[in-house]
């Protein structure tokens, strides 16, 4: 099988599951090792991002901060081809990330986005944008904010909670 590397757009449409496993290793960094270990324990403990892990106020701040992203990902987060940017909401996006943690997604964004200005937001800004992405994908708000801490975010799995709690 051809390995769909970083071809924007196309990548997301094809072999989503396989790519979900390969993609994060493409831009590896020290912090990633610790967050992926953390995401293993997130699954073991069953704490889910679907249990209310950000607040509505935080997501509202995140929507503001997301202006740095709309140029490529669209105001509706549906993405586009010109300039290229994958959709950040919907089935395909959720399927790509469901086996990983909020921390994995946070690190991916904080290290590589905005693509034209990586690291351009504050860590708090990235946490806020992260909460906006959760909201836009239909995950419920809760009582406490997402912390700007990859280690803590690594404890929160993106898959819906299974069975107990
Ligand atoms: C200049 C265009 C551009 C801007 C601005 C931009 N992105 Fe991206 N983004 C891309 C492209 C292209 C990809 C896919 C290829 C890659 O990762 O380089 C991507 C990939 C992503 C992914 C991975 C999607 C997936 O399913 O794996 C996330 C998450 C993301 N961007 C979030 C953001 C956020 C949040 C911002 C704003 C802080 C942002 N991007 C700003 C172009 C952009």
Here the CATH number for the domain that contains residue 26 is: 1.10.760
Query: According to the model, what pLDDT value does residue 47 have?
Result: 87
When pLDDT is averaged across residues 33-38 and rounded to a whole number, the result is 49
Q: Does residue 72 lie within any of the structural domains? A: yes
If one residue of 61, 73, 128 were mutated to test the ligand 1 pocket, choosing by the most ligand atoms within 8 A of its CB, it would be 73
Question: CB of 77 closer than 6 A to ligand 1?
Answer: no
Residue nearest to atom 32 of ligand 1 (CA): 109
Q: Does residue 163 lie within any of the structural domains? A: no
Residue 155 CA to chain centroid, in angstroms? 14
Q: Does residue 164 lie within any of the structural domains? A: no
Q: Does residue 158 lie within any of the structural domains? A: no
Which residues are 80's β-sheet partners?
85
Which domain range does residue 79 map to? Answer: 10-153
d(CA 127, CA 145): 9
For residue 132, give every residue at least 6 positions away whose Cβ sits within 8 Å of its Cβ, in sequence order, or none: 59, 61, 62, 63, 65, 66
DSSP string, 33-67: HHHHHHHHHHHHHT-BGGGT-S-HHHHHHHHHHGG
Query: According to the model, what pLDDT value does residue 9 have?
Result: 46
Q: Does residue 3 lie within any of the structural domains? A: no
Cβ pair 2, 14 in contact under 8 A: no
Closest atom of ligand 1 to 120 CA is 38
Whether the pLDDT of residue 15 is over 60: the answer is: no
Place of tokens 């390995």: 3
Question: CB of 96 closer than 6 A to ligand 1?
Answer: yes
Question: CB of 107 closer than 6 A to ligand 1?
Answer: no
d(CA 114, ligand 1 centre) in Å:
6
d(CA 164, ligand 1 centre) in Å:
34
d(CA 63, ligand 1 centre) in Å:
15
Long-range contacts of 136-141 (CB under 8 A, 24+ apart): 136/77, 136/88, 136/89, 137/89, 137/90, 137/93, 137/94, 139/49, 139/50, 139/53, 140/50, 140/51, 140/52, 141/52, 141/54, 141/55, 141/56, 141/59
Whether the pLDDT of residue 130 is over 50: the answer is: yes
Domain count, the chain: 1
Cβ pair 72, 145 in contact under 8 A: no
Whether the pLDDT of residue 25 is over 50: the answer is: no
Q: Does residue 2 lie within any of the structural domains? A: no
Q: Does residue 162 lie within any of the structural domains? A: no
More reliable by pLDDT, 162 or 148: 148
d(CA 86, ligand 1 centre) in Å:
7
> pLDDT averaged over the chain?
82
Residue 49's nearest CA partner among 106, 113, 124 is 106
Query: According to the model, what pLDDT value does residue 161 have?
Result: 78
Q: Does residue 116 lie within any of the structural domains? A: yes
Residue nearest to atom 30 of ligand 1 (CA): 109
């Amino acid at each position: 099988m051809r390995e769909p590397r970083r071809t924007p757009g196309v990548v997301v449409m094809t072999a989503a599951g396989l790519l979900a496993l390969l993609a994060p290793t493409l831009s590896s960094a020290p912090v990633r090792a610790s967050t992926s270990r953390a995401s293993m324990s997130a699954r073991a403990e069953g704490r889910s991002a679907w249990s209310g892990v950000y607040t509505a106020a935080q997501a509202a701040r995140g929507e503001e901060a997301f202006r740095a992203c709309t140029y490529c990902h669209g105001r509706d987060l549906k993405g586009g081809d010109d300039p290229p940017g994958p959709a950040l909401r919907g089935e395909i996006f959720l399927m790509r990330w469901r086996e990983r943690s909020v921390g994995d997604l946070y690190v991916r964004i904080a290290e590589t986005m905005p693509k034209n200005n990586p690291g351009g937001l504050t860590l708090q800004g990235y946490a806020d944008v992260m909460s906006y992405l959760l909201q836009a994908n239909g995950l419920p708000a809760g009582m406490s904010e997402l912390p700007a801490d990859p280690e803590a975010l690594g404890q929160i799995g993106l898959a819906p909670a299974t069975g107990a709690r």
